[in-house]
Amino acid sequence: MIEVERKMRVPIKKILIALFLVPGFLVVPVIGSISGPSMVAAADSTSRDNVVVYQFHRRFRCPSCHELEELIRGTLESSYPEDLKSGNLIFRVVDLDAEGNEHFPKDYDFFYNTIIVVDVKKGKDSRFKNLEKLWEIYEDKEKASAFLRGEIDEYLTGD
Protein backbone atom coordinates (compact mmCIF):
# COMPACT_ATOMS: atom_id res chain seq x y z
CA MET A 1 0.00 0.00 0.00
CA ILE A 2 2.88 2.35 0.73
CA GLU A 3 4.25 1.83 -2.79
CA VAL A 4 0.93 2.83 -4.33
CA GLU A 5 0.79 6.04 -2.32
CA ARG A 6 4.33 6.98 -3.32
CA LYS A 7 3.57 6.45 -7.01
CA MET A 8 0.46 8.60 -6.78
CA ARG A 9 2.34 11.51 -5.18
CA VAL A 10 4.79 11.86 -8.06
CA PRO A 11 2.22 12.72 -10.73
CA ILE A 12 0.45 15.11 -8.37
CA LYS A 13 3.79 16.80 -7.59
CA LYS A 14 4.54 17.18 -11.29
CA ILE A 15 1.10 18.59 -11.95
CA LEU A 16 1.44 21.11 -9.13
CA ILE A 17 4.88 22.18 -10.31
CA ALA A 18 3.59 22.61 -13.85
CA LEU A 19 0.63 24.67 -12.66
CA PHE A 20 2.89 27.07 -10.78
CA LEU A 21 5.79 27.31 -13.23
CA VAL A 22 4.10 27.46 -16.63
CA PRO A 23 2.20 30.71 -15.95
CA GLY A 24 5.50 32.28 -14.82
CA PHE A 25 7.18 31.37 -18.12
CA LEU A 26 4.31 32.93 -20.01
CA VAL A 27 4.49 36.21 -18.07
CA VAL A 28 8.27 36.72 -17.77
CA PRO A 29 8.99 37.26 -21.51
CA VAL A 30 6.28 39.92 -21.70
CA ILE A 31 7.67 41.78 -18.70
CA GLY A 32 11.24 41.40 -19.97
CA SER A 33 10.34 42.93 -23.30
CA ILE A 34 9.31 46.14 -21.62
CA SER A 35 12.21 46.70 -19.27
CA GLY A 36 14.93 44.98 -17.35
CA PRO A 37 14.18 43.98 -13.77
CA SER A 38 14.97 46.41 -10.96
CA MET A 39 16.50 49.05 -13.20
CA VAL A 40 13.43 51.21 -13.80
CA ALA A 41 12.74 53.34 -10.76
CA ALA A 42 9.25 53.61 -9.37
CA ALA A 43 9.70 57.37 -9.59
CA ASP A 44 9.67 57.17 -13.40
CA SER A 45 7.27 59.84 -14.54
CA THR A 46 6.36 61.42 -17.83
CA SER A 47 6.82 64.96 -16.52
CA ARG A 48 10.25 64.79 -14.91
CA ASP A 49 13.83 65.28 -15.99
CA ASN A 50 15.98 62.16 -16.22
CA VAL A 51 18.39 60.22 -18.38
CA VAL A 52 17.22 56.99 -19.99
CA VAL A 53 19.59 54.34 -21.30
CA TYR A 54 17.84 52.05 -23.77
CA GLN A 55 19.16 48.76 -25.03
CA PHE A 56 17.20 47.85 -28.14
CA HIS A 57 17.14 44.27 -29.42
CA ARG A 58 15.08 41.90 -31.50
CA ARG A 59 13.11 38.97 -30.08
CA PHE A 60 15.92 36.49 -30.67
CA ARG A 61 19.08 37.70 -28.97
CA CYS A 62 22.65 36.55 -29.53
CA PRO A 63 25.10 35.90 -26.68
CA SER A 64 26.81 39.25 -27.37
CA CYS A 65 23.53 41.07 -26.79
CA HIS A 66 23.14 39.37 -23.41
CA GLU A 67 26.76 40.14 -22.48
CA LEU A 68 26.29 43.79 -23.40
CA GLU A 69 23.14 44.01 -21.27
CA GLU A 70 25.04 42.49 -18.35
CA LEU A 71 27.86 45.00 -18.82
CA ILE A 72 25.46 47.97 -18.96
CA ARG A 73 23.45 46.75 -15.98
CA GLY A 74 26.61 46.13 -13.93
CA THR A 75 28.09 49.53 -14.80
CA LEU A 76 24.89 51.37 -13.91
CA GLU A 77 24.32 49.48 -10.65
CA SER A 78 27.90 50.00 -9.45
CA SER A 79 28.41 53.58 -10.66
CA TYR A 80 24.95 55.16 -10.30
CA PRO A 81 22.99 53.43 -7.52
CA GLU A 82 21.50 56.67 -6.15
CA ASP A 83 20.55 57.99 -9.59
CA LEU A 84 18.83 54.68 -10.37
CA LYS A 85 17.00 54.68 -7.06
CA SER A 86 15.82 58.28 -7.45
CA GLY A 87 14.75 57.87 -11.07
CA ASN A 88 17.32 60.34 -12.39
CA LEU A 89 18.74 57.44 -14.41
CA ILE A 90 16.65 54.68 -15.95
CA PHE A 91 17.73 51.58 -17.87
CA ARG A 92 15.26 49.98 -20.24
CA VAL A 93 15.73 46.86 -22.30
CA VAL A 94 13.32 47.01 -25.24
CA ASP A 95 12.31 44.22 -27.61
CA LEU A 96 11.74 45.97 -30.93
CA ASP A 97 9.59 43.06 -32.12
CA ALA A 98 7.10 43.51 -29.27
CA GLU A 99 3.86 45.23 -30.16
CA GLY A 100 3.98 48.98 -29.57
CA ASN A 101 7.75 49.32 -29.90
CA GLU A 102 7.87 49.83 -33.67
CA HIS A 103 8.32 53.60 -33.30
CA PHE A 104 11.72 53.49 -31.57
CA PRO A 105 13.95 53.06 -34.67
CA LYS A 106 12.30 56.08 -36.27
CA ASP A 107 12.34 58.12 -33.04
CA TYR A 108 16.06 57.54 -32.48
CA ASP A 109 17.23 57.05 -36.06
CA PHE A 110 18.66 53.52 -35.97
CA PHE A 111 18.24 50.30 -37.93
CA TYR A 112 19.63 47.50 -35.78
CA ASN A 113 20.26 46.48 -32.15
CA THR A 114 21.83 49.39 -30.34
CA ILE A 115 22.14 51.40 -27.15
CA ILE A 116 20.69 54.90 -26.99
CA VAL A 117 21.12 57.40 -24.16
CA VAL A 118 18.34 60.00 -23.97
CA ASP A 119 18.15 63.26 -22.03
CA VAL A 120 14.53 63.77 -20.97
CA LYS A 121 13.44 67.26 -19.94
CA LYS A 122 9.93 67.83 -18.59
CA GLY A 123 8.90 64.44 -19.91
CA LYS A 124 10.11 65.05 -23.49
CA ASP A 125 13.27 63.89 -25.23
CA SER A 126 15.60 66.87 -25.53
CA ARG A 127 18.58 65.05 -27.06
CA PHE A 128 19.87 61.55 -27.60
CA LYS A 129 22.98 59.71 -28.72
CA ASN A 130 23.51 56.30 -30.25
CA LEU A 131 26.22 54.46 -28.30
CA GLU A 132 26.89 51.97 -31.09
CA LYS A 133 30.61 52.13 -30.24
CA LEU A 134 29.82 49.87 -27.26
CA TRP A 135 29.38 46.98 -29.72
CA GLU A 136 32.96 47.48 -30.87
CA ILE A 137 34.51 47.59 -27.39
CA TYR A 138 32.19 45.60 -25.09
CA GLU A 139 34.63 42.68 -24.80
CA ASP A 140 37.08 45.03 -23.04
CA LYS A 141 34.90 45.47 -19.95
CA GLU A 142 36.93 48.29 -18.40
CA LYS A 143 37.11 50.32 -21.61
CA ALA A 144 33.41 49.78 -22.35
CA SER A 145 32.34 50.71 -18.80
CA ALA A 146 34.51 53.84 -18.89
CA PHE A 147 33.01 54.84 -22.25
CA LEU A 148 29.47 54.25 -20.97
CA ARG A 149 30.11 56.23 -17.76
CA GLY A 150 31.54 59.12 -19.78
CA GLU A 151 28.46 59.32 -21.98
CA ILE A 152 26.05 59.02 -19.05
CA ASP A 153 27.95 61.58 -16.99
CA GLU A 154 27.69 64.04 -19.87
CA TYR A 155 23.91 63.59 -19.93
CA LEU A 156 23.43 63.60 -16.15
CA THR A 157 25.38 66.85 -15.76
CA GLY A 158 23.70 68.45 -18.77
CA ASP A 159 26.95 69.21 -20.61
pLDDT given at position 99: 93
pLDDT given at position 93: 94
Amino acid sitting at position 14: K
CA distances in angstroms from 99 to 61, 106, 107, 117, listed in the order given: 17, 15, 16, 22
pLDDT given at position 48: 77
CA distances in angstroms from 156 to 29, 55, 72, 84, 115, listed in the order given: 31, 18, 16, 12, 16
CATH architecture of 35-157: 3-Layer(aba) Sandwich (3.40)
Q: In the chain, what are the domain boundaries?
A: 1-32, 35-157
| pLDDT one digit per residue (tens) for the chain, 159 residues | 454 444 444 454 444 444 444 444 333 333 333 334 334 443 444 567 999 999 999 898 889 999 999 999 999 999 999 999 999 999 999 989 899 998 999 999 988 899 999 999 988 999 999 999 999 999 999 999 999 999 999 999 876
